[in-house]
Amino acid sequence: MLRKIKIFINNIAALIVFRVLKFIFPKKSNKGEGILFILLAPIGDQVISTIIFQNESFFTEKIYFLVERKYNGVWEDYLGKINIISLNSKLYKWLLPYRIIWIYRIRNLKIQKTINLNDNKSTVTDELSIFSGANEIIALSYESEKLQKFHKKFINKYYDMILFNNDVNQFEKLFGLLKKLGLQNPIRETRFYLNWNTFDKVEELLKKSGTQKNDRFITIAPFASKRFRSWPLQNFKKLIVQIIESANYKILLLGDNQFADEIDEISRININSIINLAGKTSIVECAGIIKLSKIFIGNDSGLAHIAKALNISLIAIIGGGMYNRFFPYNMKKNEHYLYEKMNCFGCEWKCIYKNPRCLTEVKVEKVFKQVQNHLDGTIK
């Protein structure tokens, strides 16, 4: 009950701020021709959005792409024509001067069209879109998870067009958007951008970690961004033991600092064959390591999207909470997505069980079988 009251109060407060900003920033007609894409979302969403970057040559307008600063590393090696702008959404949300400065900055770009790409809109992305000064304001999705119905209804009327419901896969939404923007045959691929300087750093990092030049390795990221969405750690331990016992491959563990202790626990299973790089790499360095590996194994996570974009053999235990909202999409022969089929698929991780059985009931043997298929050449 207290949580619902808090959400209600936050929604009312957001609407009051919206009214104030609307008074400060009335809609205006721009003479510019630029397009602003807004995507303040995690790594996986950023990687899926590279379908736009793959088709950048078709745009004659100046293109801007606004991203969350904390994930700015995704674009570190990108050298194309799209202008990347990064914003700290937490500062935007809590500091009114920062908010006003950013809206002024965006309006000064003289944008003709603003497109909110977020699968799940928020007060931040709504404000940046609606007050951008663009002649046309478009949203990719109706969904706004943290906004109550009266708030969503009020905000959505300020968009000139909302393209999709959330029963459409995010990759397909972006492909559909490109067609609506006039592209006849858009390229249906994602990509992660890496340059040779990054590979030089990766080689040095691997050397310092104890890998030899001719070592073959498999990368494993045992955690999704939230523990609840991750295959059980005990299962990853059993899988790693089976791989080490049956194949001459080292295991490189990837992840961020929030799970560092548990990932380190895995590495102690066999210190000669398992190397823990969790929290020790940048986003592009992590991608470079994945690119050099034989297989990537993980959950529904940003690193799995990176592996897919790099065309690396991918085994992802994804469960069914967000099934087909993101993964799987544009599937290739070297990708396998594992889950236990349940009637409650698509629950958005509002699980009716103590543990998400769509994940926890995926057997180690099933995952190991896919690993064997990739290693013995059954899958290419």
Same domain, 52 and 172: yes
Q: Are residues 248 and 150 in the same domain?
A: no
Are 105 and 207 in the same domain? no
Residue 230 sits in a domain whose CATH number is 3.40.50.2000
The segment with the largest mean pLDDT, out of 60-64, 149-153, 373-377, is: 60-64
On whether residue 380 sits in a domain, the answer given is: no
pLDDT on residue 254: 97
As a whole number of angstroms, the distance between CA 277 and CA 260 comes to 9
Same domain, 150 and 221: no
- As a whole number of angstroms, the distance between CA 358 and CA 74 comes to 30
- Residue tagged 């900003």 (tokens): 21
Q: Specify whether the CB–CB gap between 125 and 118 falls below 8 A.
A: yes
Q: Where residue 377 falls among pLDDT bands split at 50, 70, 90?
A: low
Of residues 152 and 306, more confidently modeled: 306
| Structure confidence at residue 299 as a pLDDT band (50, 70, 90) | very high
Do 217 and 149 fall within a single domain?
no
Residues 6 or more apart whose CB falls under 8 angstroms from that of 366 comprise 338
Q: Which of 199-213, 243-257, 270-284, 365-379 has the lowest mean pLDDT?
A: 365-379
Residue 190 in any domain: the answer is no
| CB contact at 8 A, 277 and 253 | yes
With the CA atoms of 326, 327, 333 and 334 taken in that order, what torsion angle do they form, in degrees rounded to the nearest 10?
110
In which band, very low, low, confident or very high, does the pLDDT at 118 lie, cut at 50, 70 and 90? Answer: very high
**Is 187 a domain residue?**
no
Does residue 225 share a domain with residue 333?
A: yes
Strands (E), the chain: 34-39, 63-68, 83-87, 111-116, 136-141, 161-164, 217-220, 250-253, 274-276, 295-299, 313-317, 335-338
Instruction: Say if residue 152 is in the same domain as residue 225.
Output: no
Q: Is residue 191 part of a domain?
A: no
What whole-number distance in Å separates Cα of residue 325 and Cα of residue 118? 12
Per-residue pLDDT at 57 exceeds 60:
yes
Residue 49 falls inside a structural domain = yes
* End residue of a domain, out of 121, 145, 180: 180
Last residue of a domain, one of 120, 152, 180: 180
Q: Tens digit of pLDDT for each residue in 172-193?
A: 999 999 999 999 999 999 999 9
Strand partners, 115: 37, 138
Interaxial angle between packed helices 2-24 and 149-156, expressed in degrees from 0 to 180 and rounded to the nearest 10: 20
Instruction: State residue 166's pLDDT score.
Output: 77
Q: Is the pLDDT of residue 380 over 50?
A: no
Do residue 216 and residue 349 come from a single domain? yes
Pair 206, 146 in one domain? no
Percent of the chain past pLDDT 70, that is, above it, reads 98
Percent of the chain topping pLDDT 90: 77
206 and 93 part of one domain: no
What mean pLDDT do residues 341-355 have? 91
Classify residue 148: in a domain, yes or no: yes
Give the per-residue pLDDT at 376. Answer: 80
Q: Quote the pLDDT of residue 379.
A: 45
Is position 189 within any domain?
A: no
What's the rounded Cα separation, in Å, for the pair 306 and 133? 34
51 near 190, Cβ under 8 Å?
yes
Q: What is the pLDDT of residues 262-272, one digit of tens each?
A: 999 999 999 89
Task: State how beta strands 295-299 and 111-116 pair.
Answer: unpaired
- Judge whether 85 and 67 are in contact, CB under 8 Å: yes
| pLDDT tens for each residue of 9-43 | 888 888 888 898 998 998 766 677 899 999 999 99
Q: What is the mean pLDDT of residues 211-233?
A: 92
Confidence band, pLDDT 50/70/90 cuts, at residue 49: very high
188 within some domain? no
CA distances from 60 to 52, 82, 114, 340 (A): 13, 11, 16, 46
Find the mean pLDDT for residues 339-344.
Answer: 94
Alpha carbons 217 and 139: distance in angstroms, whole number: 42
Asked whether 137 and 130 are in contact (CB, 8 A), the reply is yes
Please say which residue of 129, 146, 180 terminates a domain.
Answer: 180
The residues near 67 (Cβ < 8 Å, ≥ 6 apart) are 39, 40, 46, 74, 75, 84, 85, 86, 87
Let me know whether 339 and 242 are in one domain.
Answer: yes
Could you tell me if 253 and 157 lie in one domain?
no
Order of strands across the sheet that contains 295-299 = 274-276, 250-253, 217-220, 295-299, 313-317, 335-338
pLDDT at 312 over 80: yes
Where in the sequence is the domain holding 39, given as residue range(s)?
2-180
CB 287 within 8 A of CB 310: yes
pLDDT of residue 30: 62
For the record, the structure tokens of 302 come out as 């940003």
Count of domains in the chain? 2
